[in-house]
Structure formats: C-alpha cells, structure tokens
A and B are shown apart, each in its own frame.
Chain A
Amino acid sequence: MKEKREAKRPGTDTRYTYAVGRIKALEARLISPGDMERLLDEETPLRSGESLRALGEFPDYSESIAAGDRGVEEVLEEQLRLAYGLLCQLSLGSNVIKVLRLRYDFHNLKTLLKARLLGLEPQGLSRVGFLSPEQMNRVLDEKTFEGGVDPFVAETILLALGRVTEGVALDTIEAIVDECYYETLARVLGVNPFLKEYARKTIDLINLRTFWRLQVMGWTEERLAEGLLPGGSIEEAFFRANFGTPMADVAPKVRDDSYRKLLKDALHAFQAKNDLSVLDKLMDDYLIEFLRKAKSYCFGLEPLVGYIAAKENEVTRLRTILYGKERSLPMETVRELLRSSYA
C-alpha cells in the first residue's frame, strides 16, 4: 500500500507536506552562490585553523564548531549527518532517504574489507552513515547487528556481506559491494517516477565512467562485465560492443542527448589535460541539474531528496574551496574543480 502511494505522479504525495515546508525553510539557509564566491575570492591562502574560522561565518556551521573541538572535515561531516538524521525522521519510514545515506556505510564497508585483505589501517572512513566505522568493524567480525539498527539498513548490509565470499579478490570487492548498493538504490527509488529517473541516470553515468576508465587503464573486457552496474538504461551489450573503440567515437553513439553532451564536454577536458577527474565533476553537475527540478515540487519525497543533494553539494563545494586554499592552489584550478551550485 505504501509503495502504491509513492508510485503516484511526481510531486503529488501530500503525506510529506510538513516535511516539505520544513525543507523550504532549510533551503533558505543553504550557503548562497554569492557567499561561496566571496569565500573563494578571499585572496590569502588559508593556514591551518583559518579554514575553521572561515567556515564559522555560516550560521549552521558555526553551531557545529561551537559544539566542540573539531576539524574542518568533522564539521562538514556533522552537517551531513544532521541533515540525514532529520530527513530520515521527516520521510516517515520511507526507505528513500535511508538508501541515499547507506552510500556512506557502503563506502566504509568497502574500505574496511579492502584494508582487512591488505592488512593495512583503513583510511578515509566516513561518519555520515548509519553505522560508525567501529560499529561496521564489529559487524564485519560478528556478521550480526546490535539492537537499534534500522532493519532495512541491517538487511542491506548483510546482503552485501553475504555476497563477499571468502577468498574474493581485492579488485572484485568494490564491484560486488557497489552492485549490491545500486541494485538496492534502483529498487527503492523505483517506486517514484522522478526518483526512478534519478537512479537510472546515476547508474548510467557510473557505467559510462567505468567504461571510460577501464579503457584508459587498459583493462580487459572481462573486468568491464564485473564493473558495470545493473539498472541503467544503457545496456551492457552497448558497452561490450564498443569496448576498445576510442571514446571520441563511442560518445556520438550514445542515444541520450544529454549524455552525449556531457561526454563531449568531458572529452574536450580529457584531451586538453589527459585527466579524467573532470568527468566526476560533470557527472555531479549533471545530476544536481536534474535534481534541481525537485525545487518546484510542493509535495512528495522529491524535495527531500533535492535538499539532501543540495546539502551534499554545499559540503563538496566548501571542501573544494577550503582544501584548495589550504594547499594554495591557483583560483582557476579551484574553480575548475568546483561543482555547480544547487542553491
């Protein structure tokens, strides 16, 4: 019944009216492009500790800074954790926000599994997900969850763990865990036409990136089959048929106009710098542009998803600017890396 109601036309579900009202008020507090520009334009490079002061100029962030002795990354992560926590409450038990937050748990899961296999200390763990890295470590040891963990979260993580069999190769772990996550994402977001489209586009773009990266790195076609995610609109056969063909010749064959344009822009940048990182930025910009439509919806879960994407976008932009300044990168380089603003 719940899934049936969510399958209505986009932006028509009145169960989330309170949540949407609250989101509209929160959206007004997002850092404006003008303020972000001002932060970027400040000429002096930031020394250690100054990034925190720069961040403290924004009210939401200053509260996090005042709450304790924290570094920039901890403050940024706390902002995301708070936003996800609130939206999980406001989404009235729907799994849509939960599955988006699970991305961070799956990131930790992959990192911990790989670190265990290599016998190294895990690096770059996130505290935005449902489980802290310590809790995830215990789950890896015991294969069970302590009380209080959302059943959907527990079920999805255990599903992924169940697929990572003993003796699996390091390179395969990422593909297995990602496949499990994106399968779940496509299933959960599939109940709503707008979100279904978002999931489909996300998967398509990741597959295009995988296809391109594998070609650049000179991997074999077998790795392609492993790396492609299910649930996209571009079929595996298309990637297989074009594997080995230069990307400049593959891009015009992609049916979707918007993907073709994205690949064309990425090709220009790639040919100029021989660097694929611009593709990540273009993909993020493409998805944020798609989600910006959610701003015009007054009902339904779409504005909630739009807001969390906006908050992630804000944090990513802040991270790019602050770290760029700390490392004294030229302003042009920081601008090139900077994602388009949702706000």
Chain B
Amino acid sequence: MELGLILAIAGAIAVTTISGIGSAIGVGLAGQAAAGVLSEDPEKFGRLVPLIGIPGTQGFYGFVLGFLVIIKVNLLGAIKSVTVSQGWQIFAITFIVGFVECISAIHQGKVAVASIGMLAKRPEETGKAIVLPVFVEIYAVIGLVAGFLLLQGVKV
C-alpha cells in the first residue's frame, strides 16, 4: 500500500475518532446532568433528550467526512492511486476538522449542561434552553462544510 493512501486512510480514521471522542465527552456530560435532574423529576425526560443528544452530532459529522475520504479513494472498490502530497492534504484537512469537531462537542456538552440546569428550574423555557447549544453547533457545521469543500479541491 502506497504512503499517500495510508495517509488518506489515517485521515479518515483520525476525523472519525477525534470527533467521536469529543462527542462522547459532550454527550457524557449532558447525560450525567440530565440523569441528575431525572432522578428528582422523571417527567422532564422528553424535554431533556434533545439536550443530551445534541453534542453527539459532531461524531456524526466526523464519520461523514471520514466516509467521504473512503469514497474519494474508492477504498471499497478499485482503490485509486493517491500521491504522498495528496495523502498529506487529505490527512491535514481531516485531522484539523476532527479537532474542531472534538472541541465544539465538548463545549456544546458544557452548554447543554447549563441548559439542563436552566430547564430543571424553568421548564417553560425549553425553547431557549435548546437554542443555546445550537450556537456551538454552527461551528461544527462550518467545520464539516469547510472539510467537504477542501476535500473536493484534492484531485485524486
């Protein structure tokens, strides 16, 4: 297997893994806070679910970008030839995007915890509580879109 292809596959693994780690931490934080609220007030489950799940989207974005790399090099069929330079380009794009997704997932988890605290006290403010973590989501989406566009620029 040529070095370029190895770098491209390493990039796909990196973006999926790093984003996944961030999402796991973010969802973990939100899940713990939600479990605390639900111990006292189980009726809030429906309102809390979106807040627990929202930091999980970054892991999904990382997986999408990793999948795009797999498609790009046609890993599941007749594998395309990838030069070392192209391999580095793919690796750099995916690694940096993975990093952005990871950081945004952790911070989104923290905002979700704050929103869960707000919802515990003011259930009538569910809309506002959900909007706050969405602001962090914007940067995760920007990371995904930027990664997608940059990958299109790498001609394999």
Q: A residues near B, CB below 8 A? A: 14, 17-29, 298-299
Contact = CB atoms under 8 A, between A and B. Distances in A.
Contacts of A298: 33, 110, 113-114, 117
A291 B116 CA distance: 21
B15 to A, nearest CB: 25
Contacts of B92: none
B113 A299 contact: yes
B9 interface: no
Given A17-B29, A17-B33, A298-B110, A24 B39 contact: no
A25 B34 CA distance: 10
B121 interface: yes
Contacts of B41: 25, 28
Nearest to A29: B40
A19 B32 CA distance: 8
A18 B33 contact: yes
Q: Which 9 A-B pairs have the closest CB atoms?
A: A21-B36, A22-B36, A21-B33, A25-B40, A24-B120, A17-B32, A24-B117, A18-B32, A25-B120
A17 B40 contact: no
User: Would you call the interface of chain B mostly helix, strand, loop, or mixed?
Assistant: helix
6 contacts: A19-B36, A21-B116, A25-B41, A25-B44, A25-B120, A298-B117
B141 interface: no
A7 to B, nearest CB: 20
Given A18-B32, A21-B36, 7 more contacts: A20-B113, A21-B35, A21-B37, A22-B37, A22-B39, A27-B120, A298-B114
- Interface range on chain B: under 10, 10 to 19, 20 to 34, or 35 or more? 10 to 19
B68 to A, nearest CB: 33
Nearest to B119: A24
Interface of B: 29, 32-37, 39-41, 44, 110, 113-114, 116-117, 120-121
Contacts of A22: 36-37, 39-40
A21 B110 contact: no
Contacts of B39: 22, 25
Nearest to B25: A14
A12 to B, nearest CB: 10
B95 to A, nearest CB: 26
Contacts of B110: 298-299
Contacts of B116: 21, 24
Contact of B34 (A21, A27, A28): A21
B40 A20 contact: no
A21 B114 contact: no
A20 B36 contact: yes
Given A14-B29, A26-B40, A21 B121 contact: no
A263 to B, nearest CB: 35
A125 B120 CA distance: 36
Contacts of B37: 21-22, 24-25
A242 to B, nearest CB: 45
Contacts of B40: 22, 25-26, 29
B36 A24 contact: yes
Which interface residue of B33, B37, B41, B114 has the most chain A CB atoms within 10 A? B33
A18 B120 CA distance: 13
B152 to A, nearest CB: 38
B67 to A, nearest CB: 31
B112 to A, nearest CB: 10
Contact of B117 (A14, A18, A20, A29): A20
A17 B36 contact: yes
Contacts of A25: 36-37, 39-41, 44, 120
Nearest to A12: B110
Nearest to A303: B117
B120 to A, nearest CB: 4
